[in-house]
Amino acid sequence: MSVKIPTLIGELVKLRPLNYNTDHIAWFDVEQDEIMQEWVGNSVPTSYDEVKQYLYELYPKHFMIWMIEEKKSNKVIGMMRISHPQYHEEKLVAGDSQRLHSYYWRKGFMKESRELIYDYVFNELKVDVLYADVWEGNINSSKSLESVGYQLIDIKKEYFKKYDRMQNKLYYQLQLGTLIIRNKQ
């Protein structure tokens, strides 16, 4: 399913498609946030070329990507990724993942980004179910997923390559009927 990625605009953020000329520089800066990096699978990148490779070549093969810009400054502060939707057991499903620089945590940026993405995914793409996973111990991500209606569906012990250890991974799902959208007044 090939989809043109639209720009989505809220009060705090603008979610936009990749800019292939400059986003590797902006994303390299975001990826230097060690707090954000604690629970993600990859290591902190060491060069722009490394970021270019996964941002422009690897990720687009698997995901629709939106850069999260702080609307006030136009500064890239995060990323939303939705895997290309596919049919599974007669339902259109996709994966959901995101990253946000820790300076912007608990200030409404991710909540608004999620609202914009979920409105698009469920109402425009007609996805039936979104899936996400989180390493056990990543309390911020678990609470963020649960706050919008994600439900824990499984826990599996898996190898966490970054830390060379076995660890529980929590698997979540979100369906339109369980999505919680804040009341817009």
As to burial, measured by CB atoms within 10 angstroms (0-12 exposed, 13-18 middle, 19+ buried), residue 75 is middle
Residue 157 lies in a domain: no
pLDDT band at 184; cut points 50, 70, 90: very low
182 within some domain: no
Q: 104: exposed, middle or buried (C-beta count within 10 Å: 0-12, 13-18, 19+)?
A: buried
Residue 177: pLDDT band with limits 50, 70, 90: confident
Provide the number of structural domains found in the chain: 1
Which domain, by its residues, includes 18? Answer: 8-130
For residue 181, what pLDDT is reported?
60
Overall size of the chain counted in residues = 185
Is 140 domain-assigned? no
**Chain-centre distance for alpha carbon 123:** 18
What CATH code is carried by the domain that includes residue 23? 3.40.630.30
Which pLDDT score, from 0 to 100, does residue 60 have?
Answer: 84
Instruction: Say if 176 falls within a structural domain.
Output: no
DSSP label at residue 4: P
pLDDT of 179 reads 74
Q: Tell me the per-residue pLDDT of 104-144, one tens digit each, with 9 for 90 and over.
A: 999 999 999 999 999 999 999 999 999 999 999 999 899 99
Contact partners, residue 35, CB within 8 Å, separation at least 6: 102
Nearest to 23 by CA among 53, 70, 55, 47: 55
Nearest to 101 by CA among 68, 134, 59: 68
